[in-house]
Amino acid sequence: MDATILAIIASVIALITAILLVVHVMKEKPGTTTMQEISDFIKEGAMAYLNRQFKTVAIFAIVIFLILGLALPKGAYNNSYMIATGFLVGAVFSALAGYIGMGMSVRANVRTANAAKRSLKEALSVAFLGGSVTGLSVVALSLLGVSGFYYLFTKVFDIPVDTAPSLLIGFGFGASLISLFARVGGGIFTKAADVGADLVGKVEKNIPEDDPRNPAVIADNVGDNVGDCAGMGADLFETYAVTLIAAMILAASTLVTQTGAKSVEYPLLLGTIAVIASIIGIFFVRLGKKENIMGAMYKGMLATGLISAVGFYFATDYMLGDINIFFASLVGLGVTFFINIITEYYTSTKYNPVKKIAKASETGAGTNVITGLAVGLQSTLAPVILVCCAIAAAYYFGETSTLQNGIYGIAIAAVAMLSTTGLVIATDSYGPITDNAGGIAEMAELPEAVRKNTDALDAVGNTTKAVTKGYAICSAALAALVLFQAYGEELMKNAVGTTFEFGIENHMVLIGLFLGGVLPFLFSSFCMEAVGKAAHKVVEEVRRQFREIPGIMERKNKPQYDTCVDIVTKAALKEMIMPGAIAVLAPIAVGFILGPEALGGLLVGVIVAGLLLAIQMSNGGGAWDNAKKYIETGHFGGKGSDAHKAAVVGDTVGDPFKDTAGPALNALIKVINTIALIIAPTIATIHLFN
Amino acid sequence: MDATILAIIASVIALITAILLVVHVMKEKPGTTTMQEISDFIKEGAMAYLNRQFKTVAIFAIVIFLILGLALPKGAYNNSYMIATGFLVGAVFSALAGYIGMGMSVRANVRTANAAKRSLKEALSVAFLGGSVTGLSVVALSLLGVSGFYYLFTKVFDIPVDTAPSLLIGFGFGASLISLFARVGGGIFTKAADVGADLVGKVEKNIPEDDPRNPAVIADNVGDNVGDCAGMGADLFETYAVTLIAAMILAASTLVTQTGAKSVEYPLLLGTIAVIASIIGIFFVRLGKKENIMGAMYKGMLATGLISAVGFYFATDYMLGDINIFFASLVGLGVTFFINIITEYYTSTKYNPVKKIAKASETGAGTNVITGLAVGLQSTLAPVILVCCAIAAAYYFGETSTLQNGIYGIAIAAVAMLSTTGLVIATDSYGPITDNAGGIAEMAELPEAVRKNTDALDAVGNTTKAVTKGYAICSAALAALVLFQAYGEELMKNAVGTTFEFGIENHMVLIGLFLGGVLPFLFSSFCMEAVGKAAHKVVEEVRRQFREIPGIMERKNKPQYDTCVDIVTKAALKEMIMPGAIAVLAPIAVGFILGPEALGGLLVGVIVAGLLLAIQMSNGGGAWDNAKKYIETGHFGGKGSDAHKAAVVGDTVGDPFKDTAGPALNALIKVINTIALIIAPTIATIHLFN
């Protein structure tokens, strides 16, 4: 059967599985009235934010839709309309995946809290299956979009195979744009609420985390959903779609004469296998006798990876008949495996980096922050070497295959990395569910044992979140490199007779590299500042409520939760505009003003600097967070000691690093690369006439 | 007359002027016995450190000397011996400049304190002329080295003009290597002592800065000299030499057939003019009626810049007869001018960035650090755009000149930036002199008015230090780009018939870019961690002394200053080895294992990432420091308030950013680029046989 049809069928199967999982999770009771009340607060806040976020983004999206449809060259196959439509559907699908995931998350949280009354095992089951709904819908919608559009273009509109994939870039761009706003907006929301709540609650008022007397407590819980669930979902939706599309575009422009449609559709077959493997993998996540939660997660990932590997072998044999391409796909699985280990080393309480930060807290916040920054900076080395090895190995296998195409090897490695995406999302979005469950247990004053169970689940969430980010950024770097190559091909296709070279000895490429390098710095700075500013506002509001509403501290009066939610909602929406605009406008300005070579330099500059900064921020932030947790378990004086206070400062600094700026860089890299690909034909044409 | 001879004569004049200034400064009386005693403590500590630093580095240097002499291809003109000898002399000259500068600095400090008893004006005069001694010796020795060796090669050994400059790279490498160790070692020393002294003194014991009861106070004052004076001097010695050499090598390999020796010797003529202009500029630094200290400094710089510009016009007309090359030199002067403005904007208490950080301190150390990081990240944009504009403009003038060589335009812009180096060093090394003077005034219990004068002088030191770093890194980026081009030329010269291209579409170049990009991150992380670790040891020692020596706080017993000096000395020497080794080994490993394309990528990767990180760290650190100062002048609660405590944490974080990791990146970039140039012939030959 056709690989495209298989991909569509697999997506539908995954969606049906997701629905069955929803039904299963909803069977669990939502607990007491108080629990439901609190859960409703969170649900309303989260949904209200998501609605407003998408309303704001919709304006952006419609403008871009019109520009794409009207300003792009119409081309031989109504290219501009195809790209514009793809863009819109990509954006809508991504938003849809966000709604489904978050809708599940805000219902699974209270049910997890309820299941935690019974046992750790049952709570894990509810939370993880809730997360799996997000995982499966994201992956299924992404694969469905790509394969559906590809089917439409090639079978319905009869667009030739060597052209159709380049029209898919619209879908990828739509996904990237939503991902950018969801990551930035959600990231600002969650961290402004978190930092703001902690600064007054923990530091000034000395009340614990998730205490219902804190006016920002609901905003904090809402933030977990809009940042870690909706934002992360959009991020990986985009990763999945764009990686597939990049591989297909590359194959279309370099391999069709050699292989026909096979090399183009091969990535879809890999995606199909990965989706099926993910569905199976979910059922491998079971708590063993030792109650090792992280171990349970790893079982699922390992199963998915192994099933994928076997499937990839047969798929490669069937479609391309070349063992070297299979090896290239193994490179991708290898990257996933090693980035897990590297990230765990830098962010887990078991190893030296986190312990070093904890120890440095003894001499105060200054040395804690210095050491945390050093750990983050240092943690870039291993992932970069891993990515370099992957590039070299995948290129080698691609080059020595019968296709003799090294870049295709890199593209396939990137696609193979996607095989565990469903599981990665499930383990990640399980995080906010358990986090919320803990919050609900605290606020509803459930017995201590319940909170103990949710805390155990939540502790793992920190590591899975860090792993997701490392995974996403490495896969982003590989996929973006393929997009960059496709950009070069696209230029040459549209300016026949001209060769475009991107030598760094060319001063325009150098200028592009510098400008590309500075973008992640600038972008991160806006994200960080936005969190700082919004947190400041939350602090003022919380202080105001404690001052003006009598009896909050004595539990005689309830604080106004909604004003805090409103403040961070407005701040997040306002502050996400600027970084979003930079991401969209920078490649256009550089491309049209400085030309195709400078734009090429910019693409690579943003990939290299973006990868470095993103790893530094994600790992550094994760390490700070766990250094605080390490102290809380009784080391260096334990909770309440001076070392702990210093560690709280480090954690506060790490928050916007790891949950706002760092993960958003992934989307930044992709948005810029997809835009370059979209404007490449126009730039090439202008270049021809100059 | 010959430009080379002129350069030698100008260097000697500058050295004589420096000696006259020494005599002048030494005429000032060193004050009371207590003042002299304290000054002697500082002098001994500083000299002891410098001796041990150079002893450690000497081992490194001798090994490298032997490797250069024995392992490099001997070539047609005993190339390997020439390069090895140049290396040794470069290292010795750089060390010599460090000794002269620091020798002056530790004598001018107590004399400045004494002059401050009389007036601000006289104190400024002593301090600035003391700094000028460093400025003139650094510039003179650097120009003397380059022109002397060039004379030796071309006139004594009769090496042709198209080959001689490439042998100068040995001198440049020697200077870079010393600069690297001086910056890293000195940077670790000064910040470990500073942070350690503050953490116990200010935070735990509540005693003011420079209080003689603090056992680490002498170490702190010694640190100012070894870091800000000796380290900075070595840094700019290297900047001066390598920039000249880069321009000369480029001219030698691309322009000799066209211009003969003229284009090669033209940079020496520019250097000559700059040295003379610097001598004159020094006398323009005078305090006006408004007592605006920064204004006095600017007067000197502006005078030097203008005199240089006029001189450049005639020099260009005389040697190359091309107005466009003169314009390229103006681009360099423009960069110096604008980088001053940009740096001042981001680090001065007068503008928004510093005020933002100060305001963020109100909600604690967490938001202070977040905002400071955001400011640092954001401050990379303007300098990068400035550098890009400079590249574009200088390239344009070079390309449209009769020489038709864009890169030569960039080289000349970089050389023109050197014109103010002497003044920049003088204003910078005036910093530790006044800082020490303040310390001596405090410790010798001089009247309040004296301390007020030294404080006024010292406040300006923060800004001049930040400006120096911005200046050094921008000039480093330009010079390194020229070195990278020379690397490409050198490869092709040694592998005739092969063209080397550094396209970022080549996966080996990409791998090189990634590896080059990660180096500054790794290098900074080692520097930061070293400061953290060494500061920790200082804290423990200071706590021990307060515990074990009775009566320190009551001034009945003196603390043991020397143990603290000893601890940071040992720590700095031990911790500088690793980053130094990375810098030397990385390009060699990548060049020989991954080949010439990957090494080319590495060179550009380290330039781009190094520039970005260095600016972020220098400006961020400067902004944190001044945000603290801003609060101390009475804003947001003033000294002792919670906001002030939060700002102290930010300042502590900024310390290793701005004084250890940030400025050392400059040397890192240069060391890697000079090594690449030295091994280029060997790599090219290996490449030919593969």
Residue A268 β-bridge partners:
none
Residues of A in contact with B649 (CB under 8 A): 364-366, 369, 649
Q: Are A277 and A313 in contact (CB under 8 A)?
A: no
Chosen for mutation from A373, A522, A543 (greatest number of chain B CBs closer than 10 Å) is A373
Whether B462 has a pLDDT exceeding 90, the answer reads: no
Q: Give yes or no for A457 touching B (CB within 8 A).
A: no
B521 and A605 within 8 Å at the Cβ level: the answer is: no
Counting one residue from chain A and one from chain B, the pairs whose CB atoms sit within 8 A come to 237
Distance from A284 to chain B by nearest Cα, in Å?
Answer: 37
B504 and A604 within 8 Å at the Cβ level: the answer is: yes
Q: Which one, of A150, A154, A57, A73, lies nearest residue A678 by Cα?
A: A73
Average pLDDT of the residues in A168-190: 94
CB within 8 Å of chain A, chain B residues 549-608: 600-601, 604-605, 608
- DSSP of A251-317: HHHHTHHHHTTHHHHHHHHHHHHHHHHHHHHHTT----TT--HHHHHHHHHHHHHHHHHHHHHHHHH
Distance from A673 to chain B by nearest Cα, in Å?
Answer: 14
Whether B26 has a pLDDT exceeding 80, the answer reads: yes
Distance from A373 to chain B by nearest Cα, in Å?
Answer: 7
B535 and A195 within 8 Å at the Cβ level: the answer is: no
Whether A318 has a pLDDT exceeding 80, the answer reads: yes
Distance from B480 to chain A by nearest Cα, in Å?
Answer: 12
Cα separation, B599 vs B584, whole angstroms: 13
Give residue-wise pLDDT tens across range B297-328.
989 999 999 999 999 999 999 999 999 999 99
Distance from A522 to chain B by nearest Cα, in Å?
Answer: 5
Query: For residue A555, what are its two tokens?
Result: 């539990």
Alpha helices (H) along B255-364: 256-259, 262-282, 293-319, 323-347, 352-360
B195 and A366 within 8 Å at the Cβ level: the answer is: yes
Q: Which residue of B has its CA nearest to A485?
A: B505
Cα separation, A237 vs A181, whole angstroms: 13
DSSP A419: G
Whether A211 has a pLDDT exceeding 90, the answer reads: no
Q: Give yes or no for B365 touching A (CB within 8 A).
A: yes
Cα separation, B676 vs B670, whole angstroms: 10
Q: Which one, of B515, B464, B480, B506, lies nearest residue A382 by Cα?
A: B515
Kindly indicate the confidence band of residue A640, based on its pLDDT and cuts at 50, 70 and 90. Answer: confident
Dihedral over Cα of A371, A375, A377, A378: its sign: positive
B484 and A501 within 8 Å at the Cβ level: the answer is: no
What Å distances lie between residue B290 and B120, B286, B351, B449, CA to CA? 12, 11, 21, 18
Give residue-wise pLDDT tens across range A117-135.
999 999 999 999 999 999 9
Q: Are A561 and A595 in contact (CB under 8 A)?
A: no
The predicted structure's pLDDT at residue B456? 86
The predicted structure's pLDDT at residue A20? 96
Give residue-wise pLDDT tens across range A496-527.
878 888 999 999 999 999 999 999 999 999 99
Q: Give yes or no for B529 touching A (CB within 8 A).
A: yes
Whether A249 has a pLDDT exceeding 90, the answer reads: yes
Of B407, B532, B609, the CB nearest to A612: B609
Of B366, B384, B608, the CB nearest to A653: B366
Whether A689 has a pLDDT exceeding 80, the answer reads: no
ipTM of the complex: 0.95
Average pLDDT of the residues in A4-23: 96
Give residue-wise pLDDT tens across range A250-293.
999 999 999 999 999 999 999 999 999 999 999 999 888 888 88
Q: Which one, of A486, A481, A507, A496, lies nearest residue A684 by Cα?
A: A496
Fill in the amino acid letter for A514.
F
Of B510, B517, B528, the CB nearest to A377: B528
Distance from B54 to chain A by nearest Cα, in Å?
Answer: 27
Give residue-wise pLDDT tens across range B110-120.
999 999 999 99
Give residue-wise pLDDT tens across range B536-588.
899 889 999 999 998 888 888 889 998 999 999 999 999 999 999 999 999 99
Domain count, chain B: 1
Mean pLDDT taken over chain B: 93
Q: Give yes or no for A643 touching B (CB within 8 A).
A: no
Q: Which residue of A has its CA nearest to B514?
A: A608
State the DSSP H helix or E strand holding residue A70, giving kind and residue range, or none if neither: helix A33-71
CA atoms within 13 A on the CB side of A408: 30
Kindly indicate the confidence band of residue A294, based on its pLDDT and cuts at 50, 70 and 90. Answer: confident
What values do phi and psi take at A503, rounded to 5?
A: -75, 135
Q: Which one, of B543, B507, B499, B436, lies nearest residue B123 by Cα?
A: B436
The predicted structure's pLDDT at residue B135? 95
Q: Which residue of B has its CA nearest to A359?
A: B536
Give residue-wise pLDDT tens across range A367-416.
999 999 999 999 999 999 999 999 999 999 999 999 999 999 999 999 99
Chosen for mutation from B388, B407, B597, B645 (greatest number of chain A CBs closer than 10 Å) is B388
Residues of B in contact with A378 (CB under 8 A): 521-522, 525-526, 529
B371 and A529 within 8 Å at the Cβ level: the answer is: yes
Percent of chain B with pLDDT over 70: 100
Give residue-wise pLDDT tens across range B45-99.
999 999 999 998 999 899 999 999 998 888 888 889 999 999 999 999 999 998 9
A612 and B616 within 8 Å at the Cβ level: the answer is: no
Q: Note down the domain range covering A201.
A: 3-689
Average pLDDT of the residues in A81-109: 94
Whether B244 has a pLDDT exceeding 80, the answer reads: yes
Mean pLDDT taken over chain A: 93
With vertex at residue B579, the alpha carbon angle to CA B578 and CA B580, rounded to the nearest 5 degrees, is 90
Q: Give yes or no for A395 touching B (CB within 8 A).
A: yes
A158 exposure class (CB count in 10 Å sphere: 0-12, 13-18, 19+): exposed
Dihedral over Cα of B531, B537, B543, B545: its sign: negative
With vertex at residue A253, the alpha carbon angle to CA A251 and CA A256, rounded to the nearest 5 degrees, is 65
